[in-house]
Structures are given as C-alpha cells and as structure tokens.
Amino acid sequence: MDTTAVQTPQSLTPKDFATDQEVRWCPGCGDYSILKQVQTVMPTLGIPRENIVIISGIGCSSRFPYYMNTYGMHSIHGRATAIASGLKACRPELSVWIVTGDGDGLSIGAGHMVHILRRNFDVNILLFNNQIYGLTKGQYSPTSEENKITKSTPYGSIDHPFNPAALALGADATFVARSMDRDPKHLQDMLKRAHAHKGASFLEIYQNCNIFNDGAFEIFTEKATKADETIFLEHGKPLLFGAQRNKGIRLDGLKPVVVSLDEGYSADDLWIHDEHDLYKAQMLVRLFDDPSVEGHFPRPFGVFYEAQRPSYEELMQQQIEAATGKYGVGDLDKLLAGSETWTIY
C-alpha cells in the first residue's frame, strides 16, 4: 500500500497534531521551531494521522514523539533507526519519521544510521544537529568543532568532527538535505521534500541549543551575516549568494571557487545545481569549512542530492511475492513433514 494514495478524509490542522503533554524543552530551544514546522507541514501531506509514526532515540530532540499526536515511540539511545527498520519492513504503508540528534544519530547510533541509509528504507530522518550534548548537560558531540571547550574537554576537544551530510552521502543515502531551525519556510519546504522522496531521506537541521552551545550557527542564521555565509541550493539554478546576490560559486575544472558577478562573471558562468549529480553532490557536501577562516565558502542549505533506488521493504515484499508465486502459499503440513518421513503402524 502506498501512503501517498491514501487521502485524509477530513482536513487536519496543525492543532490536531499537538498533544496534551506539556512541552519540556528549555525556553528558547530551537526544538520549538522544528516542532512547529513539523506540526504545520503534517496536515498538508495528506496522510491519515494514524498512519504516521515518529520514532526517536534518546536526547533532547528525542522527546519529540510525546508532542506529536500520532503513533510514536521514544526508544533507547541510538536505536531509533533500527527499530524503524523493523517497523517499516513489516508495515510498508506507514509514514515513518525518525527524530534523532547529533549524539543519538551520529555517536551511539552511527552504526545503525549508515545501514538504514544504504538499505534505503522509505523513512524520513530528521537529525537535529546542535553540536553539543544537551540532555547530559554540555559535553562535546561528534559534530562539535575542534578545540571546543566543554565540561568534558576543559583543554579543548581533540576530536575531529563528522560532516553529517558527507557521511550520509558516503553511505549511499538517496536523499541528503540541510536546513535550520531559524528559517521556518525553508525548513517546511525541506520537510515536504523529505516526505515526498521515496527512500531514506536524511535531513540535517541546524538547531540552536541556547543553554550549552548558544549561537553555534549564528553566522548562518542572523540577518547580518546569513546572506553572505549561506547558499541556498535550488535544482537547476546557479549557486548564487550574498546580500546583493552578486556572489557565486563556479567550477574551475574540479575546483569550486567563489567569484563576484561584479568582476566580469555572469550567472551563466556559475555552477548550476543538479540534485541528481552524485559527483557534484560529493563536492557540495564538502563545502563545510570553518566560517572563521578567511576565504571560506558559504555553507550550503537545501537538497544536496536525490536519487531513485528501490526501498528495502519494497524488495522484501517482492521476494515474498515471488516465493509465493513459485511455491504457492505456504502449506504448514507439508513444511512440518519435510522431505523424508517414515510411518510406524
């Protein structure tokens, strides 16, 4: 059964997706905005509420299911992806959303993350990246920058951080995108795109932890710097950015370079984004340098890559149908008897 074919009988509103549970994130947490955008988008997807399942692991973001009036499971640390795999294998018609964080999804659960992506279960993975451990009160995470001073790294972190989008692409994810808590419209668009994609959708969402890592993404989210420090990817459009929309990225052979349209280049000279080009996507996810270093690239947001590949549950169903076609519906008596029997009279 395909969920997209099932239409909601009566129209739902964001309110229908709220629960009676008090939301307990810290005041000012970026999670509030993400919750709001998810609740806003859900009624527009045309899925009956009972067919939506949200599965999370452990961490601040993983409280998410309690605040969504759908089916949901707040599971154990790092395992939401594995639990969702079993659910989706058995119930392909459900719309399964995984809510995880940089600790849950990329540290303790990194092992399962790469496998759900390569298997391409048709699920939507929302990875809230705040580059810190919030629930355990402020240790560095696998996405924290080098030299970060935290409770567990008083001399600075010596860990090299993950690049989540590059990791997902490296695991052959069929949909890789990035958005942020402070751009509601873009986040809503990305949520819709993630849902529309058939296969595992990996959506990294920059999320501000105002208690333990406040301002980690300020440079990308604040008005004064956003236009120059970010680049919003649109399929078929040139990589253009800057407050004056006068800067762009062009490919000089295999090397991306930032150019100014005021210096003789036109939009036609720029790199034209193609969501279906794996090679270019691999370069795009690598535009990930430290914003404090002179000459750095702007950070891309949007859909890096999308490809079509059969989902795991689809292939599993096909094998079951093929086996049933070949051998007929299982006959338990035949199975129990096996191939060789003898009778005692």
Point out which residues bind other proteins (CB under 8 A).
Answer: 19, 21, 48-53, 55, 58, 65-66, 68-76, 79, 82-91, 93-94, 111-112, 115, 316, 319-320, 322-324, 326-330, 332-333, 335-338, 340-345
Which DSSP symbol is given to 217?
A: T
CB 16 within 8 A of CB 164: no
For other proteins, the closer CB: 77 or 309: 77
Residue 262, Cβ density class (10 Å: 0-12 exposed, 13-18 middle, ≥19 buried): exposed
Least Å distance between CB 305 and other proteins?
23
Of the CA atoms within 13 Å of residue 233, those in its CB half-sphere come to: 26
Least distance to other proteins from the beta carbon of 58, Å? 8
Instruction: Report the alpha-carbon distance of residue 43 to residue 8 in Å, rounded.
Output: 9
* Least distance in angstroms from the C-beta of 1 to other proteins: 10
- Report the alpha-carbon distance of residue 11 to residue 276 in Å, rounded: 34
Please report how close the Cβ of residue 136 comes to other proteins at its closest, in angstroms.
15
206: left (phi over 0), alpha (psi -120 to 50) or beta: beta
Contact in structure between 248 and 263 (CB atoms under 8 Å)? no
Q: Which residue lies nearer to other proteins by CB, 73 or 283? A: 73
Q: Which residue(s) pair with 201 in the sheet?
A: 124, 175
Identify which of 187, 183, 173 has the alpha carbon closest to the alpha carbon of residue 282: 173
Least separation in angstroms between CB 177 and other proteins: 24
Q: Which is nearer to other proteins, 48 or 242 (CB)?
A: 48
Closest CB to other proteins among residues 109, 298: 109
Give the integer Cα–Cα distance in Å for 13 and 21.
18
Residue 135 C-beta: closest distance to other proteins, Å: 12
Q: Closer to other proteins at the Cβ: 268 or 340?
A: 340
Nearer to other proteins, 52 or 287 (CB): 52
